[in-house]
Amino acid sequence: MKKIVTIVGARPQFVKAAVVSRALQNEGIEELIVHTGQHFDANMSEVFFEEMQIPKPKYNLEISNLNHGSMTGRMLEKIEEILIIEKPDFVLVYGDTNSTLAGALAAAKLNIRVGHVEAGLRSHNNKMPEEINRILTDRIASVLFCPTDTAIENLAKEGYGNFDCRIVKSGDVMQDAAMFYSKSSDENSTILKKLKVDSNSYILATIHRQENTNDPQNLINIIGALNDISSQTTVILPLHPRTRYILEQQGITTLFKTIAPVGYLDMISLIKNCSMVFTDSGGLQKEAFFFHKHCITLREETEWIELVDFGYNTIVGSNRSKIVESYWQMRNKSSDFSRNLYGNGHASETIAKLLANL
């Protein structure tokens, strides 16, 4: 039986791993999950494993709240120890976090093959820690599972045709998850009732990227814009614990509704029923598209460029007036969301079947 060690540590990775783990089981592959602990808050970690029925991690490294170098180094050390014990055929990593890079590095140094889910994505901004993580992980990986044609084109431009690796257009596993858990969200989520909001009566916002949270002026601008918009419509912001702490430290006042982080089923409900999304998250940009919502991205660039090209997404950075202006431009916009940009909901099956036969 083929054996795979999956490395996860951050909230979006739990979502992706949930659907891939199910597909791996269907292919008869033994999977062991290592949780690095990068997201340690119960609302951002444990609830995902419970409500999404992800197999419990065999190992939890509890490594969090450190600088990038320290965090990645400690993860690398601990993951290496685990891989020496478990001797897997493959290590599977997701996305672009410190957990992703540490898992890939540990495997590569032990000559264990690496599969990278969400390979080939580029923001072309090397100041983003995530950009460095994804570039280095791609270069290490044996199999690069690309969600889009753009991702494959990025790898081609970087000369990956000359490297000893396999490039696969798998589609996006987050679309698999969105489709699979949508019905469960309808049946089980009570978040709208708790918040006392109606469908299409509010904007959903998230802020967590370091370029926004670590720059007081960027954060002041974004919160100021959301305060302005909240005078026109309800704004709901599930607040990352780190962002909440920084807001308190900086004395930045929010005039809209902030709530604790929510589980995936509640988050799906919030996305499906909002009128628009404001975010600096990569994953939420896609989820907005999956559920036919326009998105305003609070960054200077995006790795999901096709969303911008087709008018589903607009990039505004942290410019207060531009954020507000984009809200007015997007609020009544009509778009065709039927384009198949991210596969047909079978990305996880594609990944599992390929791994079973390698």
Mean pLDDT, 10 residues at a time, the chain of 358 residues: 93 87 95 84 58 81 84 95 98 96 98 98 90 97 96 97 96 94 93 96 93 92 97 94 89 95 92 97 94 96 94 97 96 93 91 95
Sequence-separated (6 or more) residues with CB below 8 Å from residue 140:
104, 105, 107, 108, 114, 116
Measured CA to CA, the distance from residue 311 to residue 297 in angstroms comes to 12
Parts of the chain belonging to CATH 3.40.50.2000 = 3-172+343-356, 180-330
CA 61 vs CA 113, 234, 240, 334: distances in Å: 22, 39, 21, 46
User: What is the model's pLDDT at position 41?
Assistant: 55
User: What is the model's pLDDT at position 57?
Assistant: 87
User: What is the model's pLDDT at position 42?
Assistant: 47
For the question of residue 208 being annotated catalytic, the response is yes
User: What is the model's pLDDT at position 160?
Assistant: 97
Sequence-separated (6 or more) residues with CB below 8 Å from residue 17:
6, 8, 33, 54, 94
The CATH number of 3-172+343-356 is 3.40.50.2000
Measured CA to CA, the distance from residue 315 to residue 321 in angstroms comes to 13
The CATH number of 180-330 is 3.40.50.2000
Which residues are registered as beta bridge partners of 331?
none
User: What is the model's pLDDT at position 58?
Assistant: 92
Q: Which of 39, 116, 208, 240 is catalytic?
A: 208
